[in-house]
């Protein structure tokens, strides 16, 4: 079992593979909402409410994840996994009859709650099937469960919309993916219950808030959480603002190529370089990649041709393709066993925070007259802060202060 044997554990266990696919089906259910803003426009929802409604789902995740992460543990995660998958399917079907503003507000909040519960329960279980010595590989593969749906869903959805002319029908149709998810949950249930039976009691009960705060205040845990927040802040800057920047540079028709190239590079690296990332110093490698990312942001304002855009996309994919699995692996390795699931979900909370805070702050920078050069310079400086934090963590680990 994942916690009772001293033998080297295989990464690709049945439990690990099934849980990855369960998360994959969960992310598939969310990846079709890239065009939700335009769908709200077709419903003639007032312009001032559209952005709010779109943001309610990630906002729900932002506020609920800390609570859910503490409440869900290995002992009850299987039940939450099954219930949240069913609720997620129900929310998707509810988009067809729901066309009023109050109904959409309530639906988006429920949708976000179901999704954050599903992911939190999946992570709470998955960490028990990732061998410590293969943590970068494990989290790299886990990240594919979200990358692949967001890479292919927009293209497939556009084809489907051409036939059905209604996004709500597409949302309802995607709910069918909950069926294989529920089947996998049932199929792996007995194996997970067997694993849970061999866990320490501390891993199967909800920890006290005092224990949670004590865990977060550990220097390595706090450092990795801060680095994750900063990395997702600069990541969200590209996600939200690269299109308007590229349009301003006269390359508007090529923004899709930036995302296609960077996403392809991320997928390839996380699939093929996991062993290498586990073999090197993770904090040292993270420092080097953060410095490379700072260099990328410093040069980004100089993009003025298609070829430079492709090169930038490749470099961005290299940095993010390796940094995020390394961050999750560092958190995994620096977390006490009973807090690995909680800390893994807190990493998602920092992701939520980055995507929540970034558009507000960076949008204000632009609205106050700051240009994209200033925007990306801020990102370069933030990346250098990540370098310093990673070096500090490297020194702490090298001196064996935190084991």
What pLDDT digit, counting tens, does each position of 77-125 carry?
Answer: 899 999 999 999 999 999 999 999 999 999 999 998 999 999 989 988 8
- The confidence band for 4, taking pLDDT boundaries of 50, 70 and 90, is very low
pLDDT score at 51: 75
pLDDT score at 203: 63
What pLDDT digit, counting tens, does each position of 278-328 carry?
Answer: 888 889 999 999 999 999 999 999 988 888 999 999 999 999 989 998 998
Answer yes or no: is pLDDT of 3 > 50: no
pLDDT score at 253: 65
pLDDT score at 67: 83
CATH fold of 14-206 reads Growth Hormone; Chain: A; (1.20.1250)
214-398 is a CATH 3.30.470.30 domain:
no
Token reading at 75: 């002992």
pLDDT score at 2: 43
Return d(Cα 257, Cα 125) in angstroms, integer: 36
Answer yes or no: is pLDDT of 6 > 60: no
Identify whether the C-beta of residue 296 lies closer than 8 Å to the C-beta of residue 337. Answer: no
What residues does CATH 1.20.1250.20 cover in the chain?
Answer: 14-206, 214-398
Contacts of 400 by beta carbon, 8 Å cutoff, 6+ apart: none
Distance of CA 397 to the CA centre of its chain: 26
What pLDDT digit, counting tens, does each position of 148-192 carry?
Answer: 887 777 677 777 877 877 888 888 988 998 899 999 999 988 888
Answer yes or no: is pLDDT of 333 > 60: yes
What pLDDT digit, counting tens, does each position of 127-147 carry?
Answer: 888 887 788 888 888 888 888
What pLDDT digit, counting tens, does each position of 30-70 carry?
Answer: 878 777 777 888 888 887 788 788 778 878 888 888 888 88
What pLDDT digit, counting tens, does each position of 359-400 carry?
Answer: 878 888 887 888 889 999 999 999 999 999 999 998 876 665
pTM score of the predicted model? 0.79
Contacts of 163 by beta carbon, 8 Å cutoff, 6+ apart: none
What pLDDT digit, counting tens, does each position of 186-229 carry?
Answer: 998 888 888 877 777 666 677 777 888 888 888 899 999 999 99
pLDDT score at 204: 66
pLDDT score at 163: 80
What pLDDT digit, counting tens, does each position of 229-288 carry?
Answer: 999 999 988 887 887 888 888 876 677 788 888 888 998 888 887 778 888 888 999 999
When comparing pLDDT for 93 and 403, which is higher?
93
Q: Give the mean pLDDT of 343-372.
A: 85
pLDDT score at 9: 67
């Amino acid at each position: 079992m994942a916690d009772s044997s001293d033998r080297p554990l295989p990464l690709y266990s049945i439990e690990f593979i099934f849980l990855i696919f369960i998360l994959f089906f969960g992310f598939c259910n969310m990846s079709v909402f890239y065009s939700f803003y335009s769908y709200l426009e077709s419903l003639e929802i007032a312009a001032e409410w559209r952005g709010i409604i779109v943001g309610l789902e990630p906002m729900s995740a932002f506020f609920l994840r800390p609570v859910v992460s503490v409440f869900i543990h290995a002992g009850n995660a299987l039940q939450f996994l099954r219930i949240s998958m069913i609720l997620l399917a129900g929310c998707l079907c509810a988009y067809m009859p729901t066309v009023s503003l109050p109904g959409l507000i309530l639906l988006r909040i429920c949708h976000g709650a179901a999704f954050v519960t599903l992911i939190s329960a999946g992570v709470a279980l998955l960490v028990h099937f990732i061998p410590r010595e293969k943590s970068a590989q494990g989290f790299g593969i886990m990240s594919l469960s979200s990358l692949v749906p967001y890479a292919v869903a927009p293209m497939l959805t556009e084809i489907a919309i051409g036939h059905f002319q209604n996004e709500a029908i597409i949302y309802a149709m995607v709910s069918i993916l909950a069926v294989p998810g529920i089947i996998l949950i049932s199929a792996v249930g007995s194996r997970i219950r067997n694993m849970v039976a061999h866990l320490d009691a501390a891993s199967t009960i909800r920890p006290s808030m005092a224990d949670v705060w004590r865990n977060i205040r550990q220097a390595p845990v706090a450092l990795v959480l801060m680095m994750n927040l900063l990395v997702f802040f600069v990541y969200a800057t590209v996600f939200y603002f690269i299109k308007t920047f590229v349009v301003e540079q006269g390359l508007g028709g090529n923004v899709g190529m930036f995302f296609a190239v960077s996403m392809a590079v991320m997928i390839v690296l996380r699939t093929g370089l996991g062993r290498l990332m586990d073999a090197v110093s993770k904090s040292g490698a993270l420092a080097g990649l953060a410095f490379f990312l700072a260099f990328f942001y410093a040069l980004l304002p100089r993009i003025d041709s298609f070829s430079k855009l492709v090169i930038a996309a490749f470099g961005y994919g290299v940095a993010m393709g390796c940094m995020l699995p390394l961050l999750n692996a560092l958190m995994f390795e620096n977390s006490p066993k009973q807090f690995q699931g909680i800390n893994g979900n807190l990493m998602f909370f920092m992701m939520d925070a980055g995507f929540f805070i970034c558009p507000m702050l960076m949008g204000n920078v632009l609205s106050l007259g700051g240009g994209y050069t200033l925007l990306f310079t801020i990102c370069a400086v933030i990346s250098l802060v990540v370098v310093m934090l990673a070096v500090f963590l490297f020194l702490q680990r090298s001196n064996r202060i935190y084991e």
